[in-house]
A and B are shown apart, each in its own frame.
Chain A
Amino acid sequence: MSTRLPPLLLLVALLAGWEAWCRLGGLSPLVLPPPSAVLATLWSEIATGRLWPHLSVTAAEMALGLGIGTLVGIGTGILLAEVPTLGRLLHPYVLASQLVPKLALGPLFIIWFGFGMTPTVVITALICFFPLMENTLTGLTEIDPTRRELFRMLRASRLQTLLRLKLPAALPVIMAGLRVAVVLALVGAVVGEFIGGRIGLGASIIAAQSVMDSSLIFALFVVITALGMLLYEAVRALERRVLHRFSKG
């Protein structure tokens, strides 16, 4: 508990400073709303129930995008690692596809998939795909050669070597990729909604901007940050469980 106290005190001090600056500095609430106004807006959004549909859509987009991106990323990583010819053939293209700014694909995806959740989910999945593919590929190709020799000596099949040696040994690297992907998923979902969303936290920010409601924008920041931290902690908990099972000690 004592480790959490100093950051909490810092937060209180910062909020108090911010509040004082807004009240005493004569700053327009349009430019920077005081925290009290942000909290009031946040509370009214929660109390009236206006927040929930937006929150659930963004959370669903994040979860779907992260889930699909993770599965396809790990799958592709395994394929490129296990079939080196394919890896050498495709890796430049995979890399090139990642250098295309994926958010710029948003307008194209709206043409392809229409408005709604799909384009945002696709963008989020594309963003999450890369760290998982890259980390899976790295993890699987950097297995200690002596261990591979051990599995050869024990005449393990290719599938056994993958499932019993390579994937467990690569797990810490893959989980690190997942942690990066969670953070990116939030960016993907929110910014994806900027482009084509009607519902969702990102779409709400655009809507609030159009009526110059800065305190609503700040309230949405708070919600987005909380959502991100929740998911990040969930992945950390998963990681701890998995790594406890699969690593030292």
Chain B
Amino acid sequence: MSTEPGTGFVAIEGARYRYGAAGPAILDDVDWQIPRGEIHCLIGRSGSGKTTLLKLAAGLLLPTEGAIRIGGKGLSGPSPHAGFVFQSPTLLEWLSALDNVLLPLSLKRRPTAADRETALDQLARVGLADLAARRPGELSGGQQSRVAVARALIDNPDLLLLDEPFAALDALTREELQDDLLRLCALNGTTALFVTHDITEAVYLADKVAVMADGRLAHARRIELARPRHRDMRYAPAFAAACRELRDAMDGVSALNERPAA
């Protein structure tokens, strides 16, 4: 049903996840499809299960029940087709920016001159060509995040998974990185699943946004903004309407659960 081509490059089917056999369900019966080349965002409050869902899609966690398929193949461990960008840049501080970007390749084989060229290209695409020799300690937070994105993309992954990667950055840098990310994904037709708690970030990036609450997908909305996205779109009425609807959905969920809005 959901494994046929076209419907979902990433197919999450009836996924449940709990810690231990009798532990509470972190994820409860999640179904989700991401067609190839689309960018989907997951939003939700802390503890709603969005990072867990992302790790299931990466193969870092395996579902207690249900299945995760990427390109029709079931996952049984960390996916070779996926690049992951963590909440913090997670760079190795003893390696240069270039060697950090090369890491995924250098773990597979001795990097060739061509590999180094690829890594340099990748750094150039995130605007860091001149800083290739710098160590992470000599880079700003935004530059470190760019290196982390370049590292996730060096192996040309079909799927990019991002866990609030820009949350710690200032608003302007965050917007720049969002534009960079959209450009890079469009360049290679990369499919992406992006976790964030920032509604405007989700609306700006996504083809579709899902709201998570208590381990379930509570609401989903397609974002009908044209691509390529542009900064001015942030001030368009359609953008504001989408943000409003998602915000209401998040509030509605918490009202439904009689939770005080924290």
- Chain A interfacial positions (CB closer than 8 Å to B): 144, 146-147, 149-156, 160, 164-165, 168-169, 245-249
In the bound complex, CA of A164 to CA of B135 (Å): 16
Q: Are A247 and B87 in contact (CB under 8 A)?
A: no
| Extra pairs beyond A153-B84, A154-B78, A248-B136 (14, CB < 8 Å) | A146-B90, A149-B84, A149-B86, A151-B107, A153-B60, A153-B82, A155-B78, A165-B92, A168-B92, A168-B94, A169-B92, A246-B94, A247-B94, A248-B93
Mask for B124-158, Cβ within 8 A of A = 1, else 0?
00000000000111100000000000000000000
Q: Are A153 and B137 in contact (CB under 8 A)?
A: no
With both beta carbons as reference points, the residue of chain A lying nearest to B88 in the complex is identified as A146
Mask for B228-251, Cβ within 8 A of A = 1, else 0?
000000000000000000000000
Q: Are B86 and A154 in contact (CB under 8 A)?
A: no
Query: In the complex, how many angstroms separate the beta carbon of A95 from the nearest chain B beta carbon?
Result: 31
For B136, the chain A residues whose CB sits under 8 A away are: 248
Of residues 70 through 112 on chain B, the ones whose CB sits less than 8 Å from some CB of chain A are 77-78, 80, 82, 84, 86-88, 90, 92-94, 103-104, 107
Q: Are A249 and B86 in contact (CB under 8 A)?
A: no
User: Does B39 count as interface, using CB distance less than 8 angstroms?
Assistant: no
Q: Which 5 A-B pairs have the closest CB atoms?
A: A248-B137, A246-B94, A153-B84, A249-B137, A156-B107
With both beta carbons as reference points, the residue of chain B lying nearest to A168 in the complex is identified as B94
For B58, the chain A residues whose CB sits under 8 A away are: 153
Q: Are A154 and B90 in contact (CB under 8 A)?
A: no
In the bound complex, CA of A144 to CA of B92 (Å): 11
With both beta carbons as reference points, the residue of chain A lying nearest to B135 in the complex is identified as A249
Query: In the complex, how many angstroms separate the beta carbon of A141 from the nearest chain B beta carbon?
Result: 18
- Chain B interfacial positions (CB closer than 8 Å to A): 58, 60, 77-78, 80, 82, 84, 86-88, 90, 92-94, 103-104, 107, 135-138
In the bound complex, CA of A151 to CA of B60 (Å): 11
Q: Are B103 and A154 in contact (CB under 8 A)?
A: yes
Q: A248-B135, A248-B137 are in contact. Are A150 and B90 (CB under 8 A)?
A: yes
Q: Are A164 and B86 in contact (CB under 8 A)?
A: no
With both beta carbons as reference points, the residue of chain A lying nearest to B77 in the complex is identified as A155
Query: In the complex, how many angstroms separate the beta carbon of A216 from the nearest chain B beta carbon?
Result: 49
For B87, the chain A residues whose CB sits under 8 A away are: 146
In the bound complex, CA of A245 to CA of B136 (Å): 13
Q: Are A150 and B84 in contact (CB under 8 A)?
A: yes
For B103, the chain A residues whose CB sits under 8 A away are: 154
For A153, the chain B residues whose CB sits under 8 A away are: 58, 60, 78, 82, 84
Which one of B77, B88, B94, B103 has the greatest number of beta carbons of chain A within 10 Å?
B94
For B94, the chain A residues whose CB sits under 8 A away are: 168, 245-247
In the bound complex, CA of A156 to CA of B106 (Å): 10
In the bound complex, CA of A142 to CA of B182 (Å): 36
Query: In the complex, how many angstroms separate the beta carbon of A68 from the nearest chain B beta carbon?
Result: 28
Q: A149-B86, A153-B60 are in contact. Are A160 and B107 (CB under 8 A)?
A: yes
For A156, the chain B residues whose CB sits under 8 A away are: 107
In the bound complex, CA of A109 to CA of B140 (Å): 57
Q: Are A147 and B60 in contact (CB under 8 A)?
A: no
Query: In the complex, how many angstroms separate the beta carbon of B85 from the nearest chain A beta carbon?
Result: 10
With both beta carbons as reference points, the residue of chain A lying nearest to B155 in the complex is identified as A154
Q: A248-B135, A249-B137, A249-B138 are in contact. Are A154 and B92 (CB under 8 A)?
A: no
